[in-house]
Amino acid sequence: MATQEIYYIPEGSKWPIVGTLSLFVTFLGGAMMFNSVDAGKYVLIIGLALLTYMFAGWFADVIAESIAGKYSKQVDVSFRMGMGWFILSEVMFFAAFFGALYYARMFSIPWLSGEGQGGHNGTHEFLWSSFQASWPMNVMPDPAKYTQYKDVVPAFGVPAINTALLLASGVTVTFAHWALKKANRTALSAWLFATVALGFIFVYFQAGEYAHAMNDLDLTINGGIYGSTFYLLTGFHGFHVTMGAVMLAVILFRSLKGHFSKKDHFAFEAVAWYWHFVDVVWLGLFIFVYWI
């Protein structure tokens, strides 16, 4: 306790209110677009621009404070807890979509085809009595309403390559961390660059797969519950990879500027945690969406 330092409490800051406003404008623009208001997209763009401005400004403040040595060990622990629990909330967001996937496969599709309740399932008899369960479900209970697709994206094509890319990026980011802890700045930047590159290659391949699925396989978001879960799960994951890769790029930029020390580099670690989280989500996707 003798070593107890004073916990750094920042002075008043404009960033929280700028952040709030930017989210408000973004949501407002989005809602206007859904209601077919023409000005919506401009409002949305203003909101996103404000959001970017907020992130840049807020993090610039935090980085400046960190470099000025205002953060004690205890502040560092607060940041770590903040990032850790934020990632848990992200895990739960994905859990909702995985839950929907499991529910469709285990319950709603079998029930629609007459399983359950001892075979006396009214849903099946009264709605679409000819519907047969299958997975991937490419014959819709009501074919008039949803688009039938020719095929789904096979697991052991580009998705398997993407798995390898992401797993490799998890390794390279760890090499970068080891290099940082040994103060080997060249290796740090090189491995970070490799990680960012792998991330963006993943996104590029994923975009290619989307184009292939939509154009050649007729697999769209309108493709029933398979299309819904496929695009929402991989789409949100792809968005998170993109964000993670941008964050890694920022870390690369900062490491080139000479930021981070052997012992003090929480921003690096936070982004690395985030990257591993994105990696683990992908493994779940690869297994449950593509493979089995």
Partner 1 sequence: MSTIAHDDHHDHKPTGLKRWFFSTNHKDIGTLYLIFALTMFFIGGAMAMIIRAELFQPGLQFVDPQFYNSMVTVHALIMIFGAVMPAGVGLANWMIPLMIGAPDMALPRMNNMSFWILPFAFALLLSTLFMDGGAPAGGWTMYPPLVLQTGDAFPFLIFAVHFLGISSIMGAINIIATVFNMRAPGMTLMQMPLFVWTWVITSFLLIASLPVLAGGVTMLLTDKYFGTSFFDAAGGGDPVLFQHIFWFFGHPEVYILALPAFGIVSQIIPAFARKPLFGYASMVYATASIAILSFFVWAHHMFTVGLPIKGELFFMYATMLIAVPTGVKVFNWIATMWKGSMTFETPMLFSVAFVILFTIGGFSGLMLGITPVDFQYHDTYFVVAHFHYVLLTGAIFALMAAAYYWLPKWTGNMYDERLGKIHFWLSLISSNVLFFPQHFLGLAGMPRRIPDYNIQFADFNMISSIGGFAYGITQLLFVYIVIKCAMGGKKARARSWDGAKGLEWEVPSPAPFHTFETPPKLTKKVLESLY
User: What is the Cβ-side half-sphere exposure of residue 233, based on CA atoms within 13 angstroms?
Assistant: 25
End-to-end CA distance of the chain: 55
Which of 21, 48, 168, 246 is the binder for partner 1 (CB under 8 A)?
21
Question: x/- binding map, residues 70-99, to partner 1, per CB under 8 A?
Answer: ----x--xxx-xx--xx-xxxxxxxxxx-x
Nearer Cβ to partner 1, position 142 or 253? 142
24 lies in the binding site for partner 1 (CB under 8 A): yes
Any long-range contacts for 260-269 (C-beta under 8 Å, 24+ apart)?
Answer: 260/180, 260/188, 261/183, 262/180, 262/181, 262/182, 262/183, 264/66, 264/76, 265/180, 266/76, 266/79, 266/80, 267/63, 267/66, 268/176, 268/177, 268/180, 269/80, 269/177
The span of 142-150, 171-179, 203-211, 276-284 binding partner 1 (CB under 8 A) equals: 142-150
The footprint of partner 1 on residues 107-136 (CB under 8 A) is 107-109, 111-112, 116-117, 123, 127-128
d(CA 185, CA 9): 32
Q: Is residue 68 part of the contact set for partner 1 (CB under 8 A)?
A: no
Footprint on residues 229-268 left by partner 1 (CB under 8 A): 229, 231-232
Nearer to partner 1, 103 or 291 (CB): 103
- Which one among 49, 106, 183, 221 touches partner 1, defined by CB under 8 A? 221
Q: How far is the CB of 279 from partner 1 (least distance, A)?
A: 19
Q: Which of 145, 186, 258, 292 binds partner 1 (CB under 8 A)?
A: 145
Chosen residue from 174, 189, 220, 242 binding partner 1 by CB under 8 A: 220
Which of 44, 47, 146, 278 binds partner 1 (CB under 8 A)? It is: 146
**What amino acid occupies position 129?**
S
b/e code 25-44 from CB counts within 10 Å (16+ = b): bbebbbebbeeeeeebeebb
